[in-house]
Structure 1
Amino acid sequence: MGALWQLLERPAEYEAVRGALTNGHTGGVVLVGAAGVGKTTLARLVTSVLSDPVRWAACTASSQAIPLGVFAPWIAASASRDPLALLHSARENLLARPGTVIGVDDAHLLDKLSATLVHQIAVDRGAHIVTTVRAGEPVPDAVTSLWKDGYLERIELAPFTKKQCTQLVETVLGGALEGLSADVMWESSGGNPLFLRNLVEGAVEASTLTDVNGVWQLRGPTAVPAGLVDLLDERLTRAGGPVLDVLEMLAVYEPLDIDVLSELVGADAVDAAEATGLIRVARHNGAVDVRFSHSLLGEVIRRRVGTAAARARRGRLVETLRNRDTSTPAHRIRLAQLCVDSDRPIDIALLVDAAKDAVSLSNLPLGEQLARAAWERGGGLRAAELLSRALLWQGRPQQADGILARFDPDCLDPLQLVQWGVVRASLQFWSLGDVEHARELVEVLRTRVEYPALRLTVDAAAAAMAVHENHIAAGIQAAERVLADPNSPRQAIDFAAFALGLAMPVAGRGADFAPIAARSRAQRKSTDGIIRVMVGYGEVLALTTLGDFDLAERRATEFREFSSAGQFVGWAIARIAVGVVATYRGRFRAAITAFEQALAALDAETSLPWKLPARLLLARAYAVLGEVEHAERVLADAEEHSGPYMALHEPQRMIARAWLAAAAHNPHSAVELARKAADTAHRTGQFALEAEALHHATRFGDRTLAARLAVVAGRVQGPAAAIYARHAAALANSDPCGLAAVSREFESAGLLLAAADAAAQTVPIYDHAGQRRPSAGAAARTMALAAQCDGAGTPAITAAARPLPITEREREIAALIGRGLSNRAIAERLCVSVRTVEGHIYRACIKLDAADRDQLAELI
Structure 2
Amino acid sequence: MGGLWQLLDRPTEYEAVHRALTSGDTGGVVLVGAAGVGKTTLARLVTTALPDPVRWAACTASSQAIPLGAFAPWIAASASRDPLALLHSARENLLARPGTVLGVDDAHLLDTLSATLVHQIAVDQGARVVATVRCGEPVPDAVTSLWKDGYLERIELAPFTKQQCTDLVQHVLGGTLEGLSADVMWESSGGNPLFLRNMVEGAVEASTLTDVNGVWQLRGPTAVPSGLVALLDERLTRAGKPVLDVLEMLAVYEPLDIDVLSELVGVEAVDAAESTGMIRVSRHNGAVDVRFSHPLLGEVVRRRVGTAAARARRGRLVDTLRDRDLSTPAHRIRLARLCVDSDRPVGVDLLIDAAKDAVALANLPLGEQLARAACQRGGGLRAAELHSRALLWEGRPREADRILARFDPDKLDPLQLVQWGVVRASLRFWSLGDVEHARELVDLLRARVEYRALRLTVDAAAAAMAVHENHITEGIDAAKQVLADPESPRQAVDFAAFALGLALPVAGRGAEFAPVAARSRAQQKATDGLIRVMVRYGDVLALTTIGDLDLAEQRAAEYREFSSAGQFAGWAVARIAAGVVATYRGRFRDAITAFEQALAALNAEASLPWKLPARLLLARAYAALGEVEHAERVLGDAEEHRGPHMALHEPQRVIARAWLAAAEHRPHAAVELARKAADIARGAGQFAMEAEALHHAARFGDRTVATRLSALASRVQGPVAGIYARHANAVAKADPVALIAASEEFEAAGLLLSAADAAAQAVPIHDHAGRRHPSAEAAARASALAARCDDAGTPAVTAAARPLPITEREREIAALIGRGLSNRAIAERLCVSIRTVEGHIYRACIKLDVADRDQLARLIRSRGSGSNRRKTNGYA
- 1:94 to partner: Cα distance: 1.6
Q: Which residues of 2 match residues 323-722 of structure 1 at below 5 A? A: 323-722=323-722
SS in 2 for 1:754: helix
Q: What letter is aligned with 1:332?
A: R
Map of 2:172 onto structure 1: 172
- Residue 794 of structure 2 corresponds to 794
Indicate the residue corresponding to 1:747 in structure 2.
747
Structure 1 distance, partners of 2:262, 2:108, is 30
Tell me by how many angstroms 1:149 deviates: 1.5
TM-score, scaled relative to structure 2: 0.98
CA distance in structure 2 between the aligned counterparts of 1:804 and 1:81, rounded to whole angstroms: 91
Distance 1:89 1:29 in 2: 24
Contact 2:95 2:127 (8 Å CA) reproduced: yes
Instruction: Output the CA distance in 2 between the equivalents of 1:221 and 1:851.
Output: 63
CA distance in 1, matches of 2:333, 2:537: 27
Q: Please name the residue that 1:72 is paired with.
A: 72
In structure 2, the partner of 1:738 is 738
- What CA deviation, in whole Å up to 9, does each residue of 1:78-110 have, x standing for no partner? 222111221122122222222211111001111
CA shift for structure 1 position 467: 0.2
What displacement does 1:646 show? 0.3
Partner SS state of residue 792, structure 1: coil
Q: Which moved more, 1:383-392 or 1:813-822?
A: 813-822
Quote the offset at 1:112 in angstroms. 1.0
**Aligned-pair CA distance for 1:4:** 0.2
Q: Deviations over 1:614-637 (max 9, x none)?
A: 000000111111111111111011
The aligned counterpart of 1:109 is 109
Q: Which residue of 1 aligns with 2:19?
A: 19
What's the CA shift string for 1:766-823, capped at 9, x where partnerless?
Answer: 1111111111111111111111111111111111111112111111111111111111
Secondary structure at the residue paired with 2:238?
A: helix
Which position in structure 1 is the counterpart of 2:133? 133
Structure 1: 5+ residue runs without aligned partners?
none
- What is the Cα deviation at residue 22 of structure 1? 1.2
Aligned AA (1:350): L
Contact 2:9-2:164 at 8 Å conserved across structures:
no
**Other structure's SS at 1:131 match:** strand
Report the secondary structure of 2:130's partner residue. strand
Query: How far apart, CA to CA, are the structure 1 residues paired with 2:156 and 2:9?
Result: 16
Q: Which stretch of structure 1 is more off in the superposition, 639-648 or 848-857?
A: 848-857
In structure 1, distance between residues paired with 2:834 and 2:95: 89
1:854 corresponds in structure 2 to 854
**Deviation at residue 305 of structure 1 after TM alignment:** 0.2
Other-structure match for 2:775: 775
Q: CA deviation at 1:684?
A: 0.5
Give 1:523 shift: 0.8
Mapping of 1:833-848 within 5 angstroms? 833-848=833-848
Task: Tell me how far apart the structure 1 counterparts of residues 138 and 8 of structure 2 sit (CA, whole Å).
Answer: 30
How far apart in 2 are the matches of 1:89 and 1:744? Answer: 80
| Structure 1: distance between partners of 2:48 and 2:688 | 64
Matched, 1:230 2:230: yes
Larger displacement relative to structure 2 (200-209 or 841-850): 841-850
Separation of aligned partners in 2, 1:857 and 1:823: 13
1:45-60 equivalence runs, <5 A: 45-60=45-60
Instruction: Name the SS for the 1:395 alignment partner.
Output: coil
1:843 is displaced (CA, Å) by: 1.6
Number of residue pairs matched by the alignment: 860
The CA deviation at 1:850 is 2.0
DSSP 3-state at the match of 2:386: helix
Aligned partners of 1:205, 1:430: CA distance in 2, in Å?
A: 35
Match for 2:40: what amino acid?
T
AA matched with 2:349: A
Structure 2: which 5+ runs fail to align?
Answer: 861-876
The yes-or-no answer on 1:266 pairing with 2:282 is no
Q: CA–CA distance in 2 between the matches of 1:114 and 1:295? A: 35
Measured in 1, the distance between the counterparts of 2:389 and 2:481 equals 26
Query: What TM-score, normalized to structure 1?
Result: 0.99
Displacement of 1:524: 2.0
Q: Which residue of 1 aligns with 2:724?
A: 724
Q: Distance in 2 between matches of 1:632 and 1:286?
A: 54
Whether contact under 8 Å (2:753, 2:785) holds in the other structure is: yes
Letter in 2 for 1:81: R
Range with greater deviation from structure 2 (173-182 or 141-150): 141-150
User: Which residue in the other structure is 2:874 paired with?
Assistant: none
Superposed CA deviations along residues 29-66 of structure 1, whole A, max 9, x for unmatched, are 11010111000001111111112211110000100000
Cα deviation digits, residues 813-850 of structure 1 (max 9, x gap): 11111111111111000001111111111221222222
Paired AA for residue 719 in structure 2: P
* Cα deviation digits, residues 607-658 of structure 1 (max 9, x gap): 0000000000000111111111111111011000000000000000000000
CA distance in 2, matches of 1:813, 1:41: 59
Secondary structure, in 3 states, of the residue corresponding to 1:761? Answer: helix
1:71 is displaced (CA, Å) by: 0.9
Q: Percent identity?
A: 85
Partner of 1:784: 784
CA displacement 1:441-477 (0-9 Å, x = unmatched): 0011101110000000000000000000000000000
Cα distance in 2 for partners of 1:772, 1:813 equals 29
Secondary structure of 1:57's aligned partner: strand
CA separation in 2, counterparts of 1:196 and 1:185? 7
Q: What letter is aligned with 1:755?
A: A
- Mapped to 1, the partners of 2:82 and 2:7 lie a distance apart of 46
| Aligned twin of 2:761 | 761
**Which is further off, 86-95 or 286-295?**
86-95
Return the alpha-carbon distance in structure 1 between the equivalents of residues 358 and 830 of structure 2: 55
The answer to whether the 8 Å contact 2:195/2:296 transfers is yes
Paired AA for residue 772 in structure 1: R
Q: Distance in 2 between matches of 1:449 and 1:184?
A: 44
Q: How far apart are 1:712 and its partner, in Å?
A: 1.0
Aligned AA (1:425): A
CA distance in 2, matches of 1:846, 1:151: 80
Q: Secondary structure at the match of 1:803?
A: coil
Per the alignment, residue 828 of structure 1 pairs with 828
Report the alpha carbon displacement of residue 859 of structure 1 after superposing the two structures with TM.
2.1
Structure 1 window deviating more from structure 2 (531-540 vs 97-106): it is 97-106
Deviates more, 1:810-819 or 1:439-448: 810-819
> Is 1:293 matched with 2:293?
yes
C-alpha separation in 2, matches of 1:408 and 1:514: 41
Matches of 1:859 and 1:55, distance apart in 2: 62
2:718 aligns to what SS in structure 1? coil
Question: Which SS does the other structure have where 1:103 is aligned?
Answer: strand
- Looking at structure 1, the residues matched to 747 and 243 of structure 2 have their Cα atoms a distance apart, in angstroms, of 62
Question: Aligned partners of 1:98, 1:175: CA distance in 2, in Å?
Answer: 46
Structure 1 equivalent of residue 867 of structure 2: none
User: Cα distance, 1:9 vs. partner?
Assistant: 2.4
